[in-house]
Amino acid sequence: MKNIIVFASGGGSNAQKIMEYARQEKAYNVAAIFTNNSNAGVLQKAAEYNVPTVVFTREDMENGSLLSKVQQYNPDLIVLAGFLWKFPTDIIEAYPNRVINIHPALLPAYGGKGMYGMHVHRAVHTNKEKESGITVHFVNNNYDEGNIILQEKVAIEECLSPEEVAVKVLELEHEHLPKVIEKLLNNLKM
Point out the residues that are catalytic: 103
**Contact present, 27 and 21 (Cβ < 8 Å):** yes
Q: Which residue type is seen at 52?
A: P
Question: Maximum distance among all alpha carbons in the chain?
Answer: 48
Integer CA distances (angstroms), 29 to 50, 62, 182, in order? 12, 28, 10
Buried b / exposed e along 111-125 (16+ C-beta atoms within 10 A): beeebbeeebbbbbb
Measured distance CA(137)–CA(55) in Å, rounded: 24
Measured distance CA(86)–CA(182) in Å, rounded: 24
